[in-house]
Structure formats: C-alpha cells, structure tokens
C-alpha cells in the first residue's frame, strides 16, 4: 500500500509552518528588539530557535555565550528573567485597550478552510 492511500485526512498548521514559512516578521521583530538594546544579531542566530514560544526563544538567544557576552557589553549586566519576558499576547492586548478601543483576534483556520474540511 502506498503512503498516499494510508491517510484519510491531513491537517496543516497554516499559522506559521505552511503558509508563513520563511516569514520575515518574527525575525525582523527580534532583530529590532535586540538592536534597541545595542546588539546586532544575525538572521541565522535569530532563526536557530524559531518555533519555540517567544519567551523561550529570547531566553535561548540570551543563553548563547556570544549573545550573552554582547548583552553584558551593551547593557553592563547579564540578562535577567525580566529581560526575557515578552509579555505575551494578553499583556500586549491589555496595553492596547483604552488607546483606540479596537482589538481583533482570530484563533484557528478561516471559516472557508473549516467548511472545506466538513464538506
């Protein structure tokens, strides 16, 4: 039996793995965040731990000896737990509330994809 006939359903992770593979947004955001602290990281350094939760990704970057040394040189102190706290989407949304009163979120695939799965 060929592999093509062994599965009834295949589900893709549309939000990041399939559609956005190679996306610049998270790389550029991390490059800019570290640049704001005086560090010039490379794209390969940033991409090495891509896929981890953002706080874990930042911690992995700051645990890298080269990055840790550059952090100390730029800031005068080793990175702390607070330096690794990305805040997450809930805190970001909370900070936005009250500014213009508009927030939007979407979890899961668009309805048209779900409709096709159920067809």
Q: Is residue 73 part of a domain?
A: yes
Residue that the structure tokens 């668009």 belong to = 110
Q: pTM value?
A: 0.61
**52 noted as active-site residue:** no
Residue 15, domain member (yes or no): no
Q: Is 13 a catalytic residue?
A: yes
Does residue 97 form part of some domain? no
Q: In this structure, what CATH number is given to the domain that contains residue 32?
A: 1.10.150.240
User: Given 28, 52, 54, 90, which residue is catalytic?
Assistant: 54
49 by Cβ neighbours in 10 Å (0-12 / 13-18 / 19+) ranks as middle
- Per-residue pLDDT of 94-111, as tens digits, reads 666 666 555 555 555 566
d(CA 86, CA 3) in angstroms, rounded, equals 41
Separation between Cα atoms, residue 112 and residue 5, nearest integer Å: 26
Tell whether 59 is covered by a domain.
Answer: yes
Q: Which domain holds residue 38?
A: 20-80
Is position 32 within any domain? Answer: yes
61 part of a folded domain: yes
- If one counts the domains in the chain, the total is 1
**If you write DSSP's letter for every residue of 9-74 in order, what string do you get?**
-----IIIIISSTT-SHHHHHHHHHHHTTT----HHHHHHTBTB-HHHHHHHHHHSHHHHHHHHHH
Reported as a single tens digit per residue, the pLDDT across 16-56 is 555 555 677 788 889 999 999 999 999 999 989 888 888 88
- Which one from 13, 56, 63, 115 is the annotated catalytic residue? 13
Q: Work out the average pLDDT over 48-75.
A: 92
What's the DSSP call for residue 2? -
């Amino acid at each position: 039996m060929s592999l093509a006939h062994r599965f009834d359903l295949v589900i893709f992770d549309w939000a990041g793995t399939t559609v956005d593979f190679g996306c610049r947004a998270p790389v550029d955001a991390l490059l800019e965040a570290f640049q704001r602290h005086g560090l010039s990281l490379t794209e390969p350094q940033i991409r090495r731990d891509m896929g981890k939760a953002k706080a874990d990704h930042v911690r992995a970057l700051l645990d890298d000896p080269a990055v840790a040394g550059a952090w100390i040189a730029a800031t005068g102190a080793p990175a702390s737990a607070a330096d690794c706290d990305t805040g997450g989407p809930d805190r970001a949304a909370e900070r936005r509330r009250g500014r213009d009163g508009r927030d939007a979120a979407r979890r899961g695939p668009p309805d048209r994809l779900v409709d096709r799965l159920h067809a």
